[in-house]
Amino acid sequence: MTAPLRVPGAASPARDVEGRGIWRDGLLAGLHPADLASTFGTPLYVYDLDLVAARARMLRARVPARADIAYAVKANPSLAVIAAALSGCTGADVSSAGELEAARRAGVPPTSIVVTGPGKSDRFLGQAVRSGVRAVVVESPGELGRLERIADDAGVVVPVLFRLPAHEGQVFGMSAEDAIEAARRAVASPVLEPLGVHAFGVSAEVDPAVLAAHVERTVEAGRRLSREAGFALRLVDAGGGLGIPYADGDAPLDPAVLGDHLGRLDEALADDPATRDTRVLLEPGRFLVAPAGAYLARVMDVKRLHGRHVAVLDGGINHLLAPALVGRHHRLRLVGSPQPGDRDPVPTDLVGPLCTGLDVLARPDAFPEARPGDLIVALDVGAYGFTQSMPWFLSHEGPAEVGVRGGHAWLLRQRLDPADLVAGQRMPD
Ligand SMILES: Cc1ncc(COP(=O)(O)O)c(C=O)c1O
């Protein structure tokens, strides 16, 4: 792999960990977006790997030593991003065989990998069991039964957590009655080792009190289950959900305040002999990597339609689905010549190349008038960007992924070529 771009005069990793993200002073991790686009082409994802590492270390430093941090690989399964997160995290949380493979290749020790998520295949469970993961989170009595058989076949003892729905209506996990029965079965099994509980209760939350309250509720649920089923509560996995601000001016999560809340919980756990040795696990994804990612697309065409300026980009929701999927508004920047500051703001539709009215990245009422050749930069896309897209629709090129580390830009993943989309296909005889 070559490192063709270098931040001028900088070996400087990101310093402003808690404030700005990858976009600083009109540059992406110190590099000009136009240079990144001309070197690697568009559409393009760019990640500030130093910022990922710095955010992971910062979170680690703020939460009590009792809390382990497993990076949620689903947020961004790029190997380089996982490896960067690992500089502050204790391990990883994986939800598929592909994520397990990615975590292992990125250097995460299997004994610090937690396996979560619904619908785990026998193949995935088998790989997890044979790898010797830290814990498998079981979602149902049926899944526990399959895991027990697989562990028995492999001759391996598997540590398990029992997943509980975090609130009414959540389809994850099992009922309190099923969890007690499952935990008792695990207590009696020679190949299952019950450790505790898992619950994922909040999403994209920036209020430390709300996050801490969920952790406390999960600890309480763990206490109850361990008492009812008769095992020592050794691990409470409270999932992820640590949020980031998506709009300019919105307040970020204050990790120091979260650390204070968790510090009080830590003291309560330490005071009780039943929980003195209980560890707490957080599985953040978004918080660690979202601000460290940007998506670049080039303006292909512009037109005037229905009284609005329409800019058609070379990538849209096929690469960044969140605006259409969950209505998320990403902060956008326009890079072009003359500088966007010299352009009149106009009501604009920023649309992608798909034949669906859903392919809209944003509809700002005032945006510098985009011209063909300009670059649109979407910010805070390091999490649930590349990985949560729909690259197959319309068989366009996929985005490349680039990481910036130590002042150098590296191609992390080649763009999907349209030829790749037909290469694996067969015609019937
Ligand atoms: C089980 C589990 N853990 C962790 C996460 C990561 O969440 P976030 O990226 O919001 O921190 C998720 C997200 O869906 C999840 O389902």
Domain at 381, CATH number: 2.40.37.10
Note whether residue 428 is domain-resident: no
Domain boundary among 263, 288, 313: 288
Give the residue, out of 200, 203, 244, with the most ligand 1 atoms within 8 A of its beta carbon, to mutate for a pocket test. 200
256 with 335, same domain: the answer is no
Q: Report which ligand 1 atom has the smallest distance to the Cα of 283.
A: 4
160 belongs to a structural domain: yes
Mark whether 82 and 223 lie in a shared domain. yes
Same-domain pairing of 65 and 107: yes
For ligand 1, whether the C-beta of 31 sits within 6 Å is no
Residues 259, 121 share a domain: yes
Instruction: Say if residue 383 is in the same domain as residue 281.
Output: no
Position 18 scores a pLDDT of 55
In a shared domain, residues 78 and 142:
yes
The answer to whether residues 66 and 208 belong to one domain is yes
For residue 17, the model assigns a pLDDT of 55
- Please report whether residue 251 resides in a domain: yes
Q: What is the DSSP string of 167-206?
A: STT--SS--HHHHHHHHHHHHH-SSEEEEEEE----SSB-
What pLDDT, on the 0 to 100 scale, is given for residue 330?
95
Ligand 1 center–CA 188 separation, angstroms: 31
Residues present in the chain in total: 429
Q: Which atom of ligand 1 is nearest to the CA of 285?
A: 9
**So which residues are the catalytic ones?**
355
Q: Is residue 429 part of a domain?
A: no
Helices first, then strands: H and E counts in the chain: 12, 22
Q: What does each of the 429 residues of the chain score in pLDDT, given as a tens digit?
A: 456 677 665 544 444 455 679 999 999 999 999 999 999 999 999 999 999 999 999 999 999 999 999 999 999 999 999 999 999 999 999 999 999 999 999 999 999 999 999 999 999 999 999 999 999 999 999 999 999 999 999 999 999 999 999 999 999 999 999 999 999 999 999 999 999 999 998 999 999 999 999 999 999 999 999 999 999 999 999 999 999 999 988 999 999 999 999 999 999 999 999 999 999 999 999 999 999 999 999 999 999 999 999 999 999 999 999 999 999 999 999 999 877 778 999 999 999 999 999 999 999 999 999 999 999 999 999 999 999 999 999 999 999 999 999 999 999 999 999 999 899 899 999
Report how far ligand 1's centroid is from the alpha carbon of 398 (Å): 25
Is the domain of 107 the same as that of 187?
yes
Residue 124 lies in a domain: yes
pTM: 0.95
Determine whether the shortest distance from the Cβ of 368 to ligand 1 is under 6 A. Answer: no
How many whole angstroms separate alpha carbon 231 and alpha carbon 193? 9
What is the Cα–Cα distance from 405 to 23, expressed in whole angstroms?
15
For residue 338, cis peptide bond before it (omega within 30 degrees of 0): yes
315, 368: one domain = yes
Domain that holds residue 43: 5-48+290-423
Residue 299 lies in a domain: yes
Distance 240 CA to ligand 1 centre (A): 4
**Ligand 1 site, residue 89, Cβ cutoff 6 A:** no
Return the ligand 1 atom nearest residue 290 CA.
9
Q: 123 C-alpha to center of ligand 1: Å?
A: 22
150 and 90 part of one domain: yes
Indicate the number of domains in the chain: 2
CATH of the domain at 223: 3.20.20.10
Does residue 25 share a domain with residue 119?
Answer: no
In a shared domain, residues 279 and 233: yes
Please say which residue of 240, 262, 288 terminates a domain. 288
Asked, for residue 411, whether it belongs to a domain, the answer is yes
Out of 248, 268, 288, a domain closes at 288
